[in-house]
Amino acid sequence: MIQLQKLVAGFIFFTLCILTFLLVFESYVDIPKWLWPLGRMHPLVLHFPVALVFLLGILSFSKSKIEEKSYEGIQQFLLHFTGLTASLTALMGFFLSQESSGSDLLALHKWTGAGVAYLVYVLILTVDKRSIYNGVLIITLGTTVYAGHLGAGLTHGTNFLLEPLMASEQKEITAESPIYENMVAPIFAKKCAGCHNSEKHKGELDMSSYAKILKGGEDGFVWEAGNADKSEIIKRHFLPLDDDHHMPPEGKPQLTDIELALIYQWIENGADTSRSIANLEETDTLFSTANVVMNQMNLANHKAKYEFDFADQDVIKGLNNPNRSVNQITPASPAISANIYVRARYQKEFLTELLEISEQIISLNMVNLPIEDDELSVIGQFVNLEKLILNGTNITGKTLSDLKACTKLKSLALSSTKVTASINNDLAEFKSLEEIFIWNTEIDKAGFKSLAEQFPQLEIFLGYSSADEPPLKLDIPSIGDSNKKGRVRGVNEEINFESNLPGTNIHFTIDGSEPDSTSPIYKEPILFNAGMVIKTIACKESWLCSDVKPYSFITQGIQVDTAYILTRPSESYHKITKDFDATRLIDQAVCEEGNLTHDKGFAYIGEPLIMIADMGAKPKQIEQVVVSYFINTGSVVFPPKKITVYGGNNKNNLTVIANFSPTPLTKEVSYSSSLATVSFEKQNFRYYKVKIETLIVPKWSGRTGEVSDVFVDEIFFY
């Protein structure tokens, strides 16, 4: 045993000599990459010396209770095992430190970690000199604690240990709060700054402040404003989890879907640090996402304790879908926040299904949904509801009394609805109500005054009301929610329009002229004719008319029986879904003008999109193939270089029947939809193959030699 102890002690001494040499001559050291895996074992082995040092302390404290010979045997074993693990851990830590750029925190952790290894070796040498041994042991224990604290700061961020005690109460986030400062930055602080801070900036990247983030790191800038798909922070997230470049790294808390959506949409909107929810259009996807995040953050900061039981986790999981999110406000609280999205897809079942957790819901967000008065009776069954957001819904306030069972309701948002001052009588039922939002409603100054007098304790948000300020401009009209097919229409199919502000007149023209307040007023559905372009404008007394919004509609094509794609779409666009079914290219639906929606089509970079369409056993005559595509040159999304159409009755032996090359762009084009028509003599083929090729970005764009993206959302057959 003594011989083994000498051997281990010699190895420890040899390891410490190497460590000392590396520390002294660190500026000249270049660790080869084959040693990097050894360095990355540091987090795995560091727990051994920490635990063993404390075992030595416990053993020393318990000396009087252990037989002397047994004590000495245990002590010698622990000392040598501790020295061995401490020296190896320090050496591995040095290797690992060479992968990161230097910082004061890293240097201090490195030297204190090495100090623990040296001190344990001193313990081995002084084991027979009890007074010296005990003093060194106390110093070793303190150094170990301090080195561990510094390591936690490197891994989790500075002040990790005391952070819960130092955290100040979070202020309420409102629609006027800047999205970056109040929502995006906290996500970065929680999910990124642990490895990218002023003390530990992996990859030369410091994300501890906005100014430092803008400097970027060794791989370039964190984001490209207005171009989320090309932004490094988005691309890194979509790499496989076990990829070394995936961020956050495997084993660290990952971005949730809603956090990712917020960051993505904020970058797409220009990464503007001053932008708030109040600055956004209600049709903007960032508007809906930021509302959800704001609601979740405010609820997470809510200090109330709830006496009702937790909802079944399987039930919560089952209620979540692409149009509805249901989440506990914190893992430790039974209270639930529910959000329902997408006006065009709303079904009443999305609300009634929530009755299964009616007791746990304290917040319900249904902004900009087609909620009718009769549905308030369902919401009224959420007896613990504290916050209800109904902005932009169809309610009139006539059934507001159906919410009287919601005795804990504190916040009620009714902006951009048809409510009137008659709600005063119903509001008296809500004894706990603290705030109400009624801007963009039919409640005027007189109604506001009456409301304020009747409910002096109530904070009322009326929005714009000053006659001394210039009038505000109306939002552009939008296609009515009953139109499920967007801009694609069959002949004589109805087209509806709507405004989000009650009392607004929508004026329109169909002859190509610009509409104004004297143009015909939209009162009933307009019947579609092929090639129709409807120009619209919204006007209202005391408001500035909206911008003119032209809507170009597309004639519905011949229905394809089945279709499939032969080439794989770009991974950078289609990471969230692995569904590459060609159905989305033949579903008679296209993106909204100016709004690229990834799940509406497919993007290709470099390689062509190739789709085969099966027209069925009894194919109709075809003389045109029309490709709908999106253009945004700032994001390198260009028109196709060439479109080739093949035809035949044997899908394995198709011949070229026509091709077409869209006119090359000569200037920047932002967020635009376009059509490319390939015409040919009438054919009765069963199978058609469409090949859409990408191009090399033109010189005028400043990205010479780069391959463009092509985004196709529909292929029509006529």
pLDDT tens-digit readout, 598-608 = 667 888 888 89
**pLDDT given for residue 1 in this prediction:** 65
Confidence label for 468 from pLDDT (cuts 50, 70 and 90):
very low
- Domain covering 313-461 assigned CATH 3.40.50.80 in the classification: no
| Residue 483, CB-side half-sphere exposure with 13 Å CA sphere | 24
pLDDT tens-digit readout, 96-140 = 877 765 566 778 888 898 888 899 888 888 888 888 988 888 998
% of the chain surpassing 70 pLDDT: 91
**pLDDT given for residue 301 in this prediction:** 66
**pLDDT given for residue 103 in this prediction:** 64
Confidence label for 466 from pLDDT (cuts 50, 70 and 90):
very low
**pLDDT given for residue 202 in this prediction:** 75
CA distances to 20, 100, 157, 279, 422 from 501, in Å = 74, 55, 47, 16, 19
Q: Which has more pLDDT, 348 or 225? A: 348
Give Rg (Cα) of the chain.
Answer: 33
Q: Are 510 and 497 in contact (CB under 8 A)?
A: no
pLDDT tens-digit readout, 617-626 = 999 999 999 9
Looking at domain 559-717, its CATH class is mainly beta
Q: Looking at this protein, which amino acid is placed at residue 390?
A: L
Query: Does the pLDDT of residue 706 top 50, yes or no?
Result: yes
Query: Does the pLDDT of residue 245 top 90, yes or no?
Result: no
**pLDDT given for residue 356 in this prediction:** 95
**pLDDT given for residue 177 in this prediction:** 86
Cα(143)–Cα(225) distance, integer angstroms: 46
Q: Looking at this protein, which amino acid is placed at residue 481?
A: D
**pLDDT given for residue 656 in this prediction:** 95
pLDDT tens-digit readout, 483-520 = 456 788 888 888 888 887 878 999 999 988 999 989 99
CB neighbours (10 Å) of residue 313? Answer: 9
* Closest C-alpha to 496, from 511, 481, 513, 514: 481
Q: Looking at this protein, which amino acid is placed at residue 261?
A: A
pTM of the model: 0.40
Q: Are 251 and 194 in contact (CB under 8 A)?
A: no
CATH architecture of 478-554: Sandwich (2.60)
Mean pLDDT of 426-446: 86
pLDDT tens-digit readout, 377-406 = 999 999 999 999 999 999 999 999 999 999
Cα(543)–Cα(528) distance, integer angstroms: 30
Report the run of H or E that residue 658 belongs to, with start and end: strand 655-660
Tokens of 68: 């002397």
**pLDDT given for residue 465 in this prediction:** 44
**pLDDT given for residue 619 in this prediction:** 93
Cα(415)–Cα(365) distance, integer angstroms: 13
- Give the orientation angle of helix 104-125 with respect to helix 68-97, to 10 degrees: 150
The domain segmentation of the chain, as residue ranges, is 2-156, 175-302, 313-461, 478-554, 559-717
**pLDDT given for residue 294 in this prediction:** 85
Query: Does the pLDDT of residue 460 top 60, yes or no?
Result: yes
Query: Does the pLDDT of residue 168 top 70, yes or no?
Result: no
Average pLDDT of the chain, as a whole number: 84
Tokens of 380: 């009224």
Mean pLDDT of 630-639: 84
Strands (E), 301-445: 324-328, 336-340, 361-365, 387-389, 411-413, 435-437
Query: Does the pLDDT of residue 576 top 50, yes or no?
Result: no
Q: Looking at this protein, which amino acid is placed at residue 234?
A: I
Phi, psi of 621 (to 5 degrees): -70, 135
Q: Which has more pLDDT, 165 or 237? A: 237
pLDDT tens-digit readout, 343-378 = 888 999 999 999 999 999 999 999 989 999 999 999
**pLDDT given for residue 283 in this prediction:** 75
Flag the least confident range among 411-420, 498-507, 646-655.
498-507
* Closest C-alpha to 310, from 361, 364, 360: 360
Query: Does the pLDDT of residue 709 top 90, yes or no?
Result: no
pLDDT tens-digit readout, 180-215 = 988 998 888 888 877 777 766 677 788 878 878 887
Mean pLDDT of 76-89: 88
478-554 and 559-717 in the same fold: no
Cα(324)–Cα(346) distance, integer angstroms: 10
Query: Does the pLDDT of residue 78 top 90, yes or no?
Result: no
**pLDDT given for residue 657 in this prediction:** 95
**pLDDT given for residue 151 in this prediction:** 79
Phi, psi of 337 (to 5 degrees): -110, 130
**pLDDT given for residue 572 in this prediction:** 63
Q: How far, rounded to the nearest angstrom, does the alpha carbon of residue 355 sit from its chain's CA centroid?
A: 28
* Contacts (Cβ under 8 Å, ≥6 apart) of 380: 402, 403, 404, 405, 406
